[in-house]
Chains A and B, each alone.
Chain A
Amino acid sequence: MADELAIRLRGVTKRYGPITAVKNLDLDVPEGTCVGLLGPNGAGKSTTMRLLTAQAIADEGELEVLGFRLPGESKVARAQCGVVPQLDNLDVTLTVEQNLLVFTHLYRIGRADRRDAIERALRIANLSDRRHDRVSKLSGGMRRRLLIARALVHRPRLLLLDEPTVGLDPQVRQELWALIDAMRAEGTTILMSTHYIEEAQRLADTVMIMSHGSAVAAGPPAELVATHAGLEAVEVYGAPAKLAEAEAAAAAAGFRTRRTGTSISVLGIEGADGRAPEGEPRPTNLEDVFVLLTGEEID
């Protein structure tokens, strides 16, 4: 095989009682790439992440991480993975530096290299001058940066990010994107789950859209947009009754549509030669694909 796969899932299914959280999932993450798992809440993204660290055990299917078979060889794989959880689990009564120190031990960094690893992580998180502060005194953004730096102390080959910027300000989010992008530039393989479309579009080489535990589409963001939503869209605004009318008319004319809440987007209107409805033109985007493929209603 030419491209080494950092993650390889085949036919993975995970059930919780009557609920199937992940259904017959195939996933390839080639080394050195950033793959985004995009999907609404409850699509199975977090379960997929937990399967990759053997904190959830699949009912069916094959899982390989960095060439190791899960769950049997997971511990060896985990030694070379960094994990950033969705929910902050730092030790809040410890200082920034103590949190990193604990993880140099958990990730088995030798005594001689511990100091350097901590300094490097502090630099990555840009927290060198806060090293002696207790975590409880840090801002939300700093805690997130520390959480990411903590996952990088041992220079992992694979970084698993579960909703890395959920609930953060746009400014903080940009800062974290820069940090993640820098890791990607260094060649770290990244698998990131997110329900923020912009995040996936900016950071991921490949996006896999999940819905109800299954992959519904996968590919580079631009390709997904072109395939599923075409190149151009037009926004039709108006009263709800008019929107419903426009939706029906566009569908009858063979266009794909999606609701935005305030308008109807008629997609793939390029080359429609005037058959497209009147409205505000705009390029199509990943959000169009997301809504088309994961449904307009929230269950």
Chain B
Amino acid sequence: MADASTPRIARLRRLERPALTGVLVREVVNFSSYWRSSTFSSTVEPTIYLLAFGFGFGALVGTVGGYDYVEFVGTGTVATAVLFSSAFPAMFGTFVKYQFQRTYDAILAAPVDTEELVTAEAIWIATRAGVYGCVPMLVAMVFGLDPAWGMLAVPGIAFVGGFGWACFGISIAGFASSFENFNYVVSAVLTPLFLVAGTFFPISQLPEWAQIAANLNPLYQLVQLVRHAAFGFEGWTDLVRLGVLVAFGLAMWRVAIFAMTRKLVD
């Protein structure tokens, strides 16, 4: 039988590094052809939010929660930049690569499993989010945000948050049957979470139930962590916040793998 005569070199390991590298190399090489537009949209949009709110509202309110309003918004919009450069590209990019370019068919015909494909895609998007996320903070520095050592942790925090939102976007693309379905997710999920994250106003203004609910919003935890990185960490509380972000990332990671396996493997 074929069993006995074929040399067995079966390595049935999951999440093999060469497979992850292969998918990442594809993304990096592709990035060289579209980095301008992607960098533009991922950085200019949050910067506009920062400038519009920072100066528009900033003129009216002066300080919020003990911070200069520009500092408050400058740190808050880091989370916005992370969301915009992770959830959105993940949703649209995954759908395009699956549906129109059939890229994933080509990759899965190579020695790469869906789990490896999803993981590598999420790592790539999270890395970009980690970099793009810093932009609003750097812009805010120009307008008076003081540098702090803790800020060096921001790319890492943005990566962790970006990983979760990337996996969220991939999951949505995996469950969606058409582009139009994304509208529901953007309107019903992302916009509310984005507004109730303490980015533009402190959530202490909200009713008590909303404040409690906000703690479950990973975007809120991301905003808080970034703010504390700039103005001083709060020890255990921030570790718990980081834990929430990590848990969000791990949970969405498994959901994304489930959704994409359903989509890609008949």
B interface secondary structure, majority: helix
A91 and B30 contact, Cβ closer than 8 Å, known pairs A1-B5, A4-B2, A8-B2: yes
A56 and B265 contact, Cβ closer than 8 Å, known pairs A4-B2, A91-B26, A93-B30: yes
Complexed CA–CA distance, A253 and B25 (Å): 67
Complex interface: chain B residues within 8 A of A87 (CB): 102, 105
Distance of B115 from chain A, by nearest CB (Å): 11
Interface residue tally of chain B, by bracket? 35 or more
Complex interface: chain B residues within 8 A of A93 (CB): 30, 33-34
A55-108: which have CB < 8 Å to B?
Answer: 55-57, 64, 66-68, 72-73, 75-76, 78-79, 81, 83, 85, 87-89, 91-94, 98, 101-103, 105-108
A102 and B105 contact, Cβ closer than 8 Å, known pairs A57-B266, A75-B113: no
Q: For the complex, count residues of A whose C-beta is within 8 A of B.
A: 41
Complexed CA–CA distance, A72 and B30 (Å): 31
Complexed CA–CA distance, A245 and B110 (Å): 55
A1-36: which have CB < 8 Å to B?
Answer: 1, 4-5, 8, 14, 16
Contact A102 B25 (CB under 8 A): yes
Contact B2 A89 (CB under 8 A): no
Which one of B12, B102, B109, B112 has the highest number of Cβ atoms from chain A below 10 Å of its Cβ?
B109
Partner among A5, A53, A105 whose Cβ is within 8 Å of the Cβ of B25: A105
A98 and B29 contact, Cβ closer than 8 Å, known pairs A75-B111, A76-B12, A106-B110: yes
Complex interface: chain A residues within 8 A of B11 (CB): 76
Q: Is B10 an interface residue (CB 8 A)?
A: yes
Q: Is A231 an interface residue (CB 8 A)?
A: no
Complex interface: chain B residues within 8 A of A1 (CB): 1-2, 5
Q: Is A54 an interface residue (CB 8 A)?
A: yes
Partner among A75, A102, A108 whose Cβ is within 8 Å of the Cβ of B12: A75
Contact mask for chain A residues 103-146; partner B; CB cutoff 8 A; 1 contact, 0 none: 10111100000000000000000000000000000000000000
Distance of B196 from chain A, by nearest CB (Å): 38
Complexed CA–CA distance, A103 and B23 (Å): 9
A55 and B22 contact, Cβ closer than 8 Å, known pairs A4-B2, A73-B10, A75-B12: no
Contact mask for chain B residues 10-27; partner A; CB cutoff 8 A; 1 contact, 0 none: 111000001101110110
Q: Is B101 an interface residue (CB 8 A)?
A: yes
Distance of B165 from chain A, by nearest CB (Å): 25
Partner among A68, A89, A92, A94 whose Cβ is within 8 Å of the Cβ of B106: A89
Q: Is A50 an interface residue (CB 8 A)?
A: yes
Complex interface: chain A residues within 8 A of B107 (CB): 106
Contact B110 A5 (CB under 8 A): no
B241-266: which have CB < 8 Å to A?
Answer: 264-266
Distance of B81 from chain A, by nearest CB (Å): 25
Q: Can you report 15 residue pairs joining A to B where beta carbons are below 8 Å apart? A: A4-B5, A55-B264, A55-B266, A68-B6, A76-B12, A81-B109, A85-B109, A91-B103, A93-B33, A101-B29, A102-B25, A102-B29, A103-B110, A105-B26, A106-B19
Measured CB to CB, the residues of B under 8 A from A are: 1-3, 5-6, 9-12, 18-19, 21-23, 25-26, 29-30, 33-34, 101-103, 105-113, 264-266
Q: Apart from A53-B109, A89-B106, A92-B101, what 17 extra A-B contacts exist at CB < 8 Å?
A: A4-B5, A53-B108, A55-B266, A72-B12, A76-B11, A79-B110, A83-B106, A83-B109, A85-B102, A91-B30, A93-B33, A93-B34, A94-B29, A94-B30, A94-B33, A107-B22, A108-B22
Measured CB to CB, the residues of A under 8 A from B are: 1, 4-5, 8, 14, 16, 47, 50, 53-57, 64, 66-68, 72-73, 75-76, 78-79, 81, 83, 85, 87-89, 91-94, 98, 101-103, 105-108
